[in-house]
């Protein structure tokens, strides 16, 4: 409601300014803007990052490469292993949908206090494909995620794949999709992937919409945890 009121105030201020400038009453200004010119006041769309021309070009090119690979290899989408990290909090507030209740028309509306996420948290590193989670582990408390630490995670992932996912044991039989975080681009990580002949998919910069974990995995994993207070990490 406050947003609508602010937009209405800004619209009235614009109309007053135009009325004073051209000597026309406000009703006529509104009629010209809305009915004659078909104008309406809209807010700007929020963007987390402003992409440069080079970043836009890479985004388009990487998407085209994925489409070409999918057309050549019918099993391509089923052989992608996506990786991402997410924070798990000691307390995470419930969603608005989780607070829905059946009530009669005479019942008072429920109230939900906006609580902040707990500062006590731990990071989860997770790998999964179209069939489910392959490997996951929590970053130890006090551990900084560096290239060497991520390399150790990949080594444990490789051992688990050889033990549990035999269809990925052959060189080039699966594709790794992780974002372009600095730890993913370190020399030790790149050398390990090249030595194991793991095909790595390019991830465009600042493109969370191309990260499957944020849409198909983490929200569902965290849903049962919301509204629960844990004793410790």
Q: Where are the domains of the chain?
A: 2-36, 53-105+115-225
pLDDT at 204: 81
Note the pLDDT tens digit of each residue in 56-68.
898 899 889 989 9
Whether 81 contacts 176, CB under 8 Å = yes
Whose CA is closest to 11, among 46, 40, 45? 40
CATH superfamily of 53-105+115-225: Ribonuclease H-like superfamily/Ribonuclease H (3.30.420.10)
Under the banding of pLDDT at 50, 70 and 90, the label for residue 216 is confident
Is 179 exposed, middle or buried, given 0-12, 13-18 or 19+ CB atoms closer than 10 A?
Answer: buried
Cα radius of gyration (the chain): 25
220 vs 3, more confident: 220
What are the strands of the beta sheet with 132-138, ordered from one edge?
Answer: 132-138, 121-129, 80-89, 175-177, 199-200
Which parts of the chain fold into alpha helices (H)? Answer: 2-22, 26-31, 53-72, 147-164, 187-195, 213-216, 218-222
Note the pLDDT tens digit of each residue in 118-129.
778 899 999 999
pTM of the model: 0.71
pLDDT at 35 over 90: no
């Amino acid at each position: 409601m406050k947003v609508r009121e602010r937009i209405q105030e800004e619209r009235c201020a614009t109309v007053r300014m135009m009325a004073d400038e051209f000597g026309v009453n406000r009703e006529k200004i509104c009629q010209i803007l809305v009915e004659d010119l078909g104008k309406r006041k809209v807010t700007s769309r929020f963007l987390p990052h402003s992409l440069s021309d080079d970043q836009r070009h890479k985004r388009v090119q990487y998407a085209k490469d994925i489409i070409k690979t999918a057309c050549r290899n019918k099993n391509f989408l089923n052989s992608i292993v996506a990786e991402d990290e997410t924070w798990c909090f000691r307390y995470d507030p419930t969603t608005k949908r989780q607070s829905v209740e059946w009530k009669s028309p005479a019942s008072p509306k429920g109230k939900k206090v906006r609580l902040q996420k707990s500062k006590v948290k731990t990071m989860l590193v997770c790998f999964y494909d179209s069939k489910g989670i392959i490997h996951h582990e929590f970053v130890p408390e006090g551990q900084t995620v560096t290239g060497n630490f991520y390399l150790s995670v990949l080594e444990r992932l490789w051992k688990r794949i050889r033990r549990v996912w035999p269809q990925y044991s052959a060189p080039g039989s699966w594709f790794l999709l992780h974002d372009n975080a600095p730890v993913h681009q370190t020399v030790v990580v790149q050398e390990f992937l090249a030595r194991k002949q793991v095909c790595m998919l390019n991830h465009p910069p600042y493109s969370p919409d191309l990260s499957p974990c944020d849409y198909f995995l983490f929200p569902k994993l965290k849903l049962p945890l919301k509204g629960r207070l844990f004793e410790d990490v």
